Amino acid sequence: MTDTEPYAIELKGISKAFGPVQANKDISLHVRKGTIHGIVGENGAGKSTLMSILYGFYKADAGEILINGQPTPIPDSQAAIRAGIGMVHQHFKLVENFTVVENVILGAEDGAMLQPSITKARRILKELSDEYELHVDPDSVIEEISVGHQQRVEILKQLYRHADILILDEPTGVLTPAEADHLFRILNGLKEQGKTIILITHKLREIMEVTDSVSVMRRGEMTATVQTADTSPEELAELMVGRKVLLRVDKAPANPGEVVLDVKDLRANDDQKVERLKGISLQIRAGEILGIAGVAGNGQSELLEVLGGMIPAAGGAITVNGDRIDLTGSHSDGQSRRARGIAHVPEDRQREGLIMPFMAWENMGFGYHHDPKYQKNRLFMDNAALKKDTAEKMERFDVRPPNPFLEAKNFSGGNQQKIVVAREIERNPDLLLIGQPTRGVDIGAIEFIHKQIIALRDQGKAILLVSVELDEIMSLSDRIAVMFDGQIMGEKLPSETNEGELGLLMAGVTKGAA
């Protein structure tokens, strides 16, 4: 490649404002053909807005887009597709009950009759999958194939539409480490065939592993573009946050005490009566963190939900501090669990942990609204006490802005999570259940939340941590249990295992079977 060859993508002075919020400020970006370019930045840094402009969802207020050196206005996604741009969204846009080939041709049919399109697509899919290691059975139904395969379908969809530039938004969030490695092999294969790839992610490790160059965004501005080989994760993190951050978690060795949580042969079903927990047994002692690793959807959510009193169990036994707790019936709800000293930071703060239209002070009492100190008398709640309490907790947990009267939906993801974490940790629970503590949370807040979790452990509390981020599990846990298909595949000490071994367990491969 010579220097005179035009860039595959060139953005010049892109600006976009939403009301008073300047989401993109004078952004310029140059991506060479046949390279993988990473874009990193915290939530709300403007990555998604920029990509939405490139894909025609938003119109920029100012600036120019050049594709292969040609000025190319992109007013809508059809224009983006015509310009050879394909996008793989974080949440797949697939029709669950259609087959692979039907999904691939959806919206790109050649005429009113489907059969000729399907025949043609089948042939092209065969060629593409041979060329790029993108193997999927064209006739399987989407809902029956794994998430990794679904993602391949998304990529195939874009290639079928002759995309030369692929944008992938947080593509590894739902993948096992092995699946992620396979994805990177596919991306490298695509790169060698001359495709240009833009990878949006918050995982610095992936940036280092797979990209050729990387751009960092902060507060709507492009703060740096560097060659990946010339940088380090620490430097990228600093560029993202604007100050030095600690990527590693500092913690003293655990000092486990009495058993706090003892779970024996726990079973649970979902709404469709499918068994999601198939006999889980585990113990957590005071002063230790048990991390549950696993690919999303292997029963970790149900484990948290049963322990937190959100769904009933179908069998087994749970004891907390030696007392058996109810698994079904009216004494198995969230209120009863809280009364037992169990606090719960749920996986999904927006749907469970917070009521988004409620103000911060209303959310600070959520789940604890029966607490006598928030009652004025038998009839009325003591809102003043709750507001005062909220202001103090927001101060201690550095929630920004520290305004108890702001609605939850108006806080950033990290600050929303800090509200939930503050509410639960400040109850001083014996057992803290915490699911995806830092999902969609910016790096600065991750550091803070991790410190709070470690501090709670050091006070001698038991903590059950569920996370799909293997890094987080590895760095926080004192012991790691891996879940697959509703069972615990094995327990490891973080010092004696590695991502490869955990990855195999997460995929359901035990030593004997492998």
Q: Closest distance between another protein and the C-beta of residue 14, in Å?
A: 19
Query: CA angle, 172 as apex, 171 and 173 as ends, to 5°?
Result: 100
Residue 278: helix, strand or coil by DSSP?
A: strand
Q: Which amino acid is at 170?
A: E
> For 317, what's the count of Cα atoms within 13 Å in the CB-facing half-sphere?
6
**Residue 226 binds to another protein (criterion: CB under 8 A):** no
The whole-angstrom separation of Cα 263 and Cα 274 is 21
* Residue number with CB closer to another protein (123 or 369): 369
The whole-angstrom separation of Cα 197 and Cα 86 is 10
**Residue 224 binds to another protein (criterion: CB under 8 A):** no
* Residue number with CB closer to another protein (347 or 469): 347
User: Per the structure block, which two tokens stand in for 378?
Assistant: 């038998």
* Residue number with CB closer to another protein (201 or 332): 332
Residue 407's CB: how many other CB atoms inside 10 A?
16
**Residue 270 binds to another protein (criterion: CB under 8 A):** no
**Residue 512 binds to another protein (criterion: CB under 8 A):** no
**Residue 149 binds to another protein (criterion: CB under 8 A):** no
* Residue number with CB closer to another protein (225 or 335): 335
**Residue 362 binds to another protein (criterion: CB under 8 A):** yes
Q: Is the peptide bond before 437 cis (omega within 30 degrees of 0)?
A: no
Mask for 323-342, x = binds another protein (CB under 8 A): -------x--xxxxxx----
* Residue number with CB closer to another protein (323 or 380): 380
* Residue number with CB closer to another protein (78 or 383): 383
**Residue 348 binds to another protein (criterion: CB under 8 A):** yes
Q: Which residue, chain included where needed, has tokens 């071994």?
A: 501
The whole-angstrom separation of Cα 24 and Cα 13 is 9
Mask for 388-427, x = binds another protein (CB under 8 A): ----------------------x-----------------
Query: CA angle, 304 as apex, 302 and 306 as ends, to 5°?
Result: 65
**Residue 379 binds to another protein (criterion: CB under 8 A):** yes
Q: Which one, of 210, 179, 274, 246, lies nearest residue 448 by Cα?
A: 246
Q: How far apart are the first and last CA of the chain?
A: 44
**Residue 19 binds to another protein (criterion: CB under 8 A):** yes
Considering only 21, 246, 455, 493, the residue that binds another protein (CB under 8 A) is 21
Query: CA angle, 445 as apex, 440 and 448 as ends, to 5°?
Result: 135
**Residue 308 binds to another protein (criterion: CB under 8 A):** yes
**Residue 355 binds to another protein (criterion: CB under 8 A):** yes
Candidates 37-45, 72-80, 205-213, 359-367; binding stretch for another protein (CB under 8 A) = 359-367
**Residue 20 binds to another protein (criterion: CB under 8 A):** yes
* Residue number with CB closer to another protein (322 or 357): 357
The whole-angstrom separation of Cα 337 and Cα 199 is 42
Q: Closest distance between another protein and the C-beta of residue 306, in Å?
A: 12
Considering only 7, 57, 92, 358, the residue that binds another protein (CB under 8 A) is 358
Considering only 299, 346, 404, 503, the residue that binds another protein (CB under 8 A) is 346
Q: Closest distance between another protein and the C-beta of residue 348, in Å?
A: 8
- Looking at the DSSP bridge assignments, the partners of residue 221 are 218
Considering only 309, 413, 486, 503, the residue that binds another protein (CB under 8 A) is 309
- Looking at the DSSP bridge assignments, the partners of residue 268 are 277
The whole-angstrom separation of Cα 151 and Cα 157 is 10
Q: Closest distance between another protein and the C-beta of residue 310, in Å?
A: 5
Residue 257's CB: how many other CB atoms inside 10 A?
13
At 229, phi and psi to the nearest 5?
-65, -25
- Sheet holding 70-71: strands in order across? 21-31, 9-18, 62-67, 70-71
* Residue number with CB closer to another protein (73 or 401): 401
The whole-angstrom separation of Cα 410 and Cα 326 is 37
Interface with another protein: number of residues (CB under 8 A): 38
The whole-angstrom separation of Cα 23 and Cα 17 is 5
From start to end of 101-157, where are the E strands? Answer: none
The whole-angstrom separation of Cα 185 and Cα 171 is 13
Considering only 126, 351, 373, 388, the residue that binds another protein (CB under 8 A) is 351
**Residue 16 binds to another protein (criterion: CB under 8 A):** no
Considering only 232, 383, 428, 510, the residue that binds another protein (CB under 8 A) is 383
* Residue number with CB closer to another protein (124 or 356): 356
What residue ranges bind another protein (CB under 8 A)? 17-21, 308-310, 330, 333-338, 344, 346, 348, 351-358, 362, 365-367, 369-370, 375, 379-381, 383, 410
